[in-house]
Every structure is written in structure tokens, then in C-alpha cells.
Chains A and B, each alone.
Chain A
């Protein structure tokens, strides 16, 4: 199926640093979702975005729905070791409930 372009593929940062990752698509999406997946676990929903331009925070996480409706970014401020994991963006096109997933960003935080 269609894939979103998610970048970067991996990041290695020091504890306390801020992190930014993004997803772009050739299609217009009506919904953007950001998930985190720990090894051997299912993805956990972090933030859901429903309107172009929407900026939503969840603790140290902030995500935005791009104005063009073809992109979204996720920022993590003041990273901590438990932020380690794989972050996936997911988008929903204009019809149906099917989600398209990005390829993931592997985040490593060094204490």
C-alpha cells in the first residue's frame, strides 16, 4: 500500500535535547496520528490531529497538522531515556477509516 515519507529514519541524541521528526505525503490527509512503539509492543497513540494548521501538545510532545494537509511534524522537548522507541506517523485520507503508516523514526536517547 501507499507509504508516507517519514524522516529521519533514526536519531541518536543526548538526554535533554529536543527532537523533531516529520512526515510528508503526496496525498491530502484528513487526519494525522502519531504513535510510539516500544520493542515487542503495539503502538501507543500519542497525538491525534484533525484540522489543517492544528497544533496539539501532550506533555513534552507537540505535533502539528500541516497547512497543505500533506505533512505533519512531531517535536519532543527535553528528551529523557524513556522516550526511546520507534515513532510512527499515520494518516487517513478523505474516505474510510484506513490508516497509512510512515516507516518510523527510531529514537535513541543517551543518558
Chain B
């Protein structure tokens, strides 16, 4: 149980275009999903927290108009990187927290490698 998927696993896009990354909880309902960014050999940096049906809460320094997050259902959250630039190239990982059971266990997706050329 507690499987989280991400799509796509890798994406290459041109500078100025937008990219959408999907995060799905496959076998549980995720009341809260989180989006992280990870640079090579570094830890995970929380970008935003999204609760189903409400606006995402962004961490300080994360542009909400650039990183659009939608959590329209209990099993799906999307992150859209708008007008991507090379500095947005990174490993983006989502996690999901179930509303039941052990409330504070976050289960991570496999990540999406974004390369902006």
C-alpha cells in the first residue's frame, strides 16, 4: 500500500514553455500533497503544500505564479512550471499524506527530472 506515482519521470522542454507534472496516490486518498525540489547532492526543499479543494500554501521564496499547483481530487495533484528557464532544471518530487492511520507519514513519488534547454 501507500503507492505514489508521478508522470512524467523525465521531461525535456525548451525555455519559455510550460510543463505539467502529475502526482497520484494510487491506493489511498491523500488529503494533503507536498511538492519538493531537489538539486544534485542536496536535500529535499519543500516548495508548497496543497490540500484537496483549496489553494496551495507556498514556502517563502517560491513564486506561486511560476509554480502552479492544483489539487482537484483526493488522488491527484499537479505542478505546472510556467515559462520554464534553465535554472528551473531540477528533480521534482511529490509526496502524499493520508488523512487516516499514521497521519504524519509522507509517501514519496519516484520524482520527475526536468531539463530546460
Contacts and interface: CB of A to CB of B under 8 A. Distances in A.
Report, as a range, how many residues of chain B touch the other chain. Answer: 20 to 34
Given A42-B109, A50-B102, 6 more contacts: A31-B104, A50-B104, A88-B44, A98-B49, A103-B42, A103-B43
- The main secondary structure of chain B at its interface with chain A is strand
A50 B107 CA distance: 16
Interface string A18-48: 0000000000001101010000111111001
A33 B106 contact: yes
Contact of A97 (B42, B104, B107, B110): B104
Residue of B2, B6, B49, B110 with highest tally of chain A CB at under 10 A: B110
A66 interface: no
B7 to A, nearest CB: 13
B93 interface: yes
B80 to A, nearest CB: 19
Interface of B: 2, 4, 6, 32, 34, 42-46, 49, 59-60, 91, 93, 95, 97, 102-111, 113
Given A1-B59, A97-B97, A45 B45 contact: no
A9 to B, nearest CB: 10
Contact of B43 (A48, A92, A104): A104
Nearest to A88: B43
Contacts of B60: 1
A102 B97 CA distance: 19
B93 A43 contact: yes
Contact of A48 (B59, B91, B105): B105
B110 A99 contact: no
Given A40-B111, A42-B109, A48 B44 contact: no
A101 interface: yes
- Which 3 pairs between the two chains have the least Cβ-Cβ distance? A42-B108, A31-B104, A42-B111
A101 B44 contact: yes
A97 B49 CA distance: 9
A1 B45 contact: yes
